[in-house]
Amino acid sequence: MPASIHRIGVLTGGGDCPGLNAVIRVVTKTAITKLGIEVIGIEDGFLGLIRNRMRPLRMDDVSNILTVGGTILGTTNKADPAHFATGKDDQGRPIFEDVTDRVLEHVADRRLDGIICIGGDGTMSGAAGLIRRGVCCIGVPKTIDNDLMATELTFGFTTAVQTATECIDRIHSTASSHHRVMLVEIMGRNAGWLTLHAGLAGGADVILIPEIPYKLDSICEACLERDRRGKRFTLIAVAEGARPEGGQQVVNKIVHDSPDPVRLGGVSVLLAQQIADRTGLETRATILGHVQRGGTPVAFDRVLASHFGFKAIELVAEGAWGQMVALQRGRITSVPIESVAGRQRQVPLDDPLIAMARAVGTCMGD
């Protein structure tokens, strides 16, 4: 290990997800017991760096957190040091500034030799910006959306799939009982991984993902065809980022002081009304929302998150800064953070799961 490393920071950025505490735990314990270095917990992601909110993490601080959802450090998706809202103008619009110099001062004050940044594409973009300013960073990929480039899987995804699937199962029984078309709206932003996996696991009759623009006629025909065959209900799994052919995604709101201001949501409600009007079938929509982020991580995510965290400390020991941990071909490796920052991994149209869904008669909306 490079002799210059005495203290590292760790932060969790972006949306919370199951498995974050598992990473914090293994990073802290391994750094202390194997490398003999101090660990500083940075609160609320990059906001903690901007406002100098940090605290030491000791062995007792990370005991008994493996099974706990969320993050003991807190998080935010509104604190990019290069584009941070510092106030409002006369019209109430946010004023953005580059506060990276402030971050550099706090990193120096805390004598941090490097930072482990746990997060998705936004967090990796923020880390890449710090790297360009001379801060040593290592990335650990997390997101329930599974949309981070260069890694086959992110921790948190498997738990979110399980949660969404259980919700679909419950909707399934009430849809059957009331003979309704039931839409279940699932997170994922611009990628359909979560909806595709949960939809298949839950036996959805229609699966709508952002990568395949849907046709209302195709969806309605699928519902009517089931009705004609005596299947008096239809279960539709729809991604929050799904959009009609030639149309736009449904935006729930704009968060003006966020570097990523668009919040998707509500496509299921819109579609439910359109399907009811077109077919005459009773239709309902359920938006799962943040229930998909919470709860105890499943065993697979606990192990994957721990494995990622351990690899991050190995990279620290090697002095291999500027890398993000990744899972490729079933093996834990690393890639440059710069190659991941600001990019999203979508479901390829030739993905075997799409072919399998079509083969069993699932309508993909096209």
End residue of a domain, out of 293, 317, 348: 293
Q: What is the mean pLDDT of the chain?
A: 94
For residues 195 and 271, membership in a common domain is answered with yes
* Residues 142, 169 share a domain: no
Q: How far is CA 167 from CA 80, 161, 270, in A?
A: 34, 10, 20
Is 24 inside any structural domain?
Answer: yes
Query: Same domain for 54 and 134?
Result: yes
Q: Who's near 267: CB < 8 A, 6+ residues apart? A: 185, 238, 239, 240, 241, 242, 243, 249, 250
Query: Are residues 230 and 114 part of one domain?
Result: no
Q: Which residues contact 224 (CB under 8 A, 6 or more apart)?
A: 279, 281
Q: How far apart are the first and last CA of the chain?
A: 54
Lowest mean pLDDT: which of 44-48, 91-95, 203-207, 335-339? 91-95
Q: Which of 107-111, 290-294, 332-336 has the lowest mean pLDDT?
A: 290-294
Contacts of 153 by beta carbon, 8 Å cutoff, 6+ apart:
146, 304, 327
Condensed to tens digits (0 to 9), the pLDDT of residues 200-223 reads 999 999 999 999 999 999 999 999
In a domain, 345, yes or no: no
Q: Which of 2-16, 42-56, 108-122 has the lowest mean pLDDT?
A: 2-16
Give residue 245's pLDDT: 95
Domain count, the chain: 2
Whether residue 151 sits in one domain with residue 11? yes
In a domain, 303, yes or no: yes
Residues with catalytic function: 145
CATH number where 221 lies = 3.40.50.460
- For 262-309, the pLDDT digits (tens) are 888 899 999 999 999 999 999 999 999 999 998 999 999 999 999 999
Confidence band of 258 (pLDDT split at 50, 70, 90)? confident
Closest CA to 48 of 86, 8, 103: 103
pLDDT greater than 80 at residue 260: no
Q: Is residue 354 part of a domain?
A: no
What local confidence, expressed as pLDDT, does residue 43 receive?
97
Residue 359 lies inside a defined structural domain of this protein: no
Task: Please indicate, yes or no, whether residues 149 and 117 belong to a single structural domain of this protein.
Answer: yes
Q: Could you list the residue range(s) of the whole structural domain that residue 13 is in?
A: 7-155+297-339
pLDDT score at 239? 97
Cα(335)–Cα(127) distance, rounded to whole angstroms?
14
- Kindly indicate the confidence band of residue 61, based on its pLDDT and cuts at 50, 70 and 90: very high
User: Based on the domain organization, do 257 and 314 belong to the same domain?
Assistant: no
> Based on the domain organization, do 214 and 318 belong to the same domain?
no
Same domain, 268 and 326: no
Structural domain includes residue 52: yes
- Give the mean pLDDT of 93-104: 93
Whether residue 364 is contained in a domain is answered as no
Question: Do 177 and 47 share a domain, yes or no?
Answer: no
pLDDT of residue 212: 98
Tokens of 239: 């991604």
**What share of the chain has pLDDT > 70, as a percent?**
99
Q: For residue 352, is it within any domain?
A: no
pLDDT computed for residue 250 by the predictor: 87
pLDDT at 93: 87
Same domain, 120 and 233: no
Instruction: Indicate the range of 26-30, 77-81, 120-124 predicted with least confidence.
Output: 77-81
Give the C-alpha separation, 154 to 238, whole Å. 21
Q: What is the mean pLDDT of residues 58-81?
A: 94
Q: How confident is the model at residue 2 (pLDDT cuts 50, 70, 90)?
A: low
Residue 319 backbone zone (phi > 0: left; psi -120 to 50: alpha; other: beta) = left
Average pLDDT over residues 247-254: 87
Are 23 and 118 within one domain? yes
pLDDT at residue 1, as a whole number: 60
